[in-house]
Amino acid sequence: MAEVTETTQAAQQIALPDGVKGAVHDWGSDQTAFKKVPWGKAMMWIFLLSDTFVFSCFLISYMTVRWSTTDPWPNTSQVFSLDFAGTPVPLLLIAIMTFILITSSGTMVMAVNYGYRKNRKMTAFWLILTAIFGASFVGMQAFEWSKLIAEGVRPWGNPFGAAQFGSSFFMITGFHGFHVSIGVIFLFIVTYKVMRGDYDDDGRKGFFTSRKGNYEIVETMGLYWHFVDLVWVFIFAFFYLW
C-alpha cells in the first residue's frame, strides 16, 4: 500500500508545465477548441490543408525536374502566346484566365457577404456569376490544352524542348482544372438551392442543406474557391512566369 502511494505521488510530481498542459486541454476536446465552429467548415479546412500538401508536392516536383533536366526548357512566353491582330502576344490567354479567376474571388466574397445577411436573391446572383467565371476559366483551359496538343505537346514529349515539360504541364494544370470544375458544379448546386429557398427559415431539407436559416454552406464554398484561386497564383508564377 505504501509503495502504491509513493508511486502515485511520484506520478503527480512529474506534471506537464502549465503551458503544455493548457494546450493539451484546449485541443483535446472538440467542445473546447471547436465549440462555435460548424463541422462543415472545420472539415473543409482539413481538406484544404491536405490539398495544400498535394499541390506543394506537384510544384516542388516541377522545380526539381526543371533544375535537373539537361535539355533546354521551353520558353513559356512563346509556347503560350496568342496571335492578336497578326502579332504574337506572350501569355495573352493566361493573363485573361488569371484575371477571370481573381475576379471570381471577389464575386465569391460578395456572395458570402449577402449570405450573412440572408439575402437570397443577391446571394444567388453573385454565386451564379462566380460559377460563370469559373466555367469560363475551364473553357479557356480546355482551349489551351487543345492548342498545345495540336502543336504536338504530349505527356511524354514535346517539340519545344525538354520532354518533362508536357507531363508537368498536363499534371499540374489538369489537377487544378479538375478542382475548378468540381467547384463550378457545386456552385451551381448551391445557387439552385439558394434560389429555391432551402437555406431560409421556412426552407425544406435536402442534399447539401445545412440547418434552416443558415447560409454557412456559402461561406464553406467560399473557402474552397479562394483556395483554388490562391493555388492558381502559385501555378501562374512558377509555371508560366518562370
Helices 92-116 and 120-150: crossing angle in degrees, nearest 10, is 160
165 grid coordinates: 515539360
Give me the pLDDT at residue 19, please: 63
The Cα–Cα gap between 64 and 57 comes to 10
Residue ranges of domains in the chain, CATH in brackets = 39-241 (1.20.120.80)
Chain center to CA of 68: 29
The model's pTM is 0.82
Give me the pLDDT at residue 211, please: 57
Give me the pLDDT at residue 78, please: 84
Give me the pLDDT at residue 11, please: 47
Chain center to CA of 17: 39
The Cα–Cα gap between 242 and 54 comes to 21
CA angle 75, 81, 85 (to 5 degrees): 145
Evaluate the CA torsion angle 95, 128, 114, 227 in order and state its sign.
negative
| Tens digit of pLDDT at every position of the chain (242 positions) | 445 455 555 444 545 456 666 665 555 555 555 566 677 888 899 999 999 999 999 999 999 999 998 888 888 888 898 887 778 889 899 999 999 999 999 999 999 999 988 899 999 999 999 999 999 999 999 999 999 999 888 888 888 888 889 999 999 999 999 999 999 999 999 999 889 888 876 656 655 555 556 788 899 999 999 999 999 999 999 989 88
